[in-house]
């Protein structure tokens, strides 16, 4: 039995939902409510000491970290649905190189614009004590929340995060000129970067890939996969004006 603790709009939850759909696996969902602080509750942090979503329970045993969960699903269910990792060790290394880059560059960069667009109103409504209490309880990325503060990230921080997103898209475009998917065949690398790209679309940053034709074709190919609509069900994408989400990490 597969249970997923996730949040509808969290990009890391979206990665795992995409992977579950590609592997054609049934799962039961437990929605984490950031505003209520579910992700920082004692019960949840017994399963996930990072205090972030998602967490997979497989027959009651937890697995955390979205990219780790994706590899786990492939290794546990190699014959279900579509393969999301290649058969040869060298090709797997190429997928993992992409995964590491995605984790270090676009996944961290999107948080800046994402927070400034989605969380700022909710953060402004909190007292400094409430904000400090949440930061103190946050196991990962305290620094990021301190920087975010009450007024959001600075213009400089936003500009620099957009520069990193541009670099990531440029690199994607280079590889997508050579193959339909990032690391040859469709893989966890494509799954791990898609939610960042969709978030960019949702908050008005799609102009960054204007010049990257191969990325545009990749994106429209991805949107035609069955997994896309399964992971991005109604309510799973953020919308303009949706600015009152309370500081959930993803």
* Residues near its own copies, by CB under 8 A: 49-50, 58, 61, 63-65, 67-69, 71-72, 75-76, 89-90, 92-93, 96-97, 100-101, 103-105, 139-140, 142-143, 146, 160, 163-164, 167, 171
Cβ of residue 237: shortest distance to its own copies, in angstroms? 26
Residue ranges in 119-208 assigned as alpha helix (H): 120-124, 128-137, 142-148, 155-176, 188-202
- Comparing CB distances to its own copies, the nearer of 184 and 228 is 184
Instruction: Report yes or no: 18 and 222 within 8 Å, Cβ to Cβ.
Output: no
Instruction: Report yes or no: 248 and 12 within 8 Å, Cβ to Cβ.
Output: no
φ/ψ of residue 114, rounded to 5: -65, -50
Cβ of residue 24: shortest distance to its own copies, in angstroms? 18
Give the dihedral sign, CA 93/94/95/96.
positive
- Comparing CB distances to its own copies, the nearer of 69 and 203 is 69
Based on DSSP, count helices (H) and strands (E) in the chain, helices before strands: 12, 4
Cβ of residue 80: shortest distance to its own copies, in angstroms? 13
Instruction: Report yes or no: 4 and 30 within 8 Å, Cβ to Cβ.
Output: yes
Sole residue written with tokens 């600075």: 154
- Comparing CB distances to its own copies, the nearer of 74 and 190 is 74
- Comparing CB distances to its own copies, the nearer of 35 and 133 is 133
Beta-ladder partners of 5: 30, 55
- Comparing CB distances to its own copies, the nearer of 92 and 221 is 92
Instruction: Report yes or no: 239 and 202 within 8 Å, Cβ to Cβ.
Output: yes
φ/ψ of residue 175, rounded to 5: -75, -35
Cβ of residue 98: shortest distance to its own copies, in angstroms? 10
- Comparing CB distances to its own copies, the nearer of 28 and 88 is 88
């Amino acid at each position: 039995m597969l249970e997923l603790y996730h949040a509808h709009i969290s990009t890391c939850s979206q990665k795992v939902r995409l992977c579950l759909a590609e592997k054609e696996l049934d799962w039961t969902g437990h929605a984490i409510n950031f505003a209520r602080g579910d992700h920082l509750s004692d019960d949840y942090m017994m399963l996930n000491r990072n205090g972030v979503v998602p967490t997979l329970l497989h027959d009651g045993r937890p697995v955390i970290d979205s990219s780790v969960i994706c590899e786990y699903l492939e290794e546990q269910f190699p014959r279900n649905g579509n393969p999301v990792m290649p058969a040869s060790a060298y090709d797997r290394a190429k997928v993992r190189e992409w995964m590491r880059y995605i984790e270090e560059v676009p996944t961290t960069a999107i948080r800046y614009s994402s927070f400034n667009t989605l969380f700022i109103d909710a953060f402004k409504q909190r007292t400094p004590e409430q904000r400090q209490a949440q930061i103190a309880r946050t196991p990962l990325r305290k620094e990021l929340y301190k920087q975010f503060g009450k007024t959001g990230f600075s213009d400089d921080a936003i500009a620099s995060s957009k520069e990193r997103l541009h670099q990531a898209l440029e690199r994607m475009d280079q590889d997508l000129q050579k193959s339909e998917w990032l690391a040859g065949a469709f893989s966890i690398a494509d799954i791990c970067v898609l939610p960042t790209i969709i978030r960019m679309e949702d908050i008005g940053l799609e102009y960054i890939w204007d010049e990257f034709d191969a990325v545009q074709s990749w994106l429209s190919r991805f949107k035609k996969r069955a997994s896309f609509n399964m992971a991005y069900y109604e309510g799973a994408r953020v919308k303009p004006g949706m600015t009152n989400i309370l500081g959930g990490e993803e």
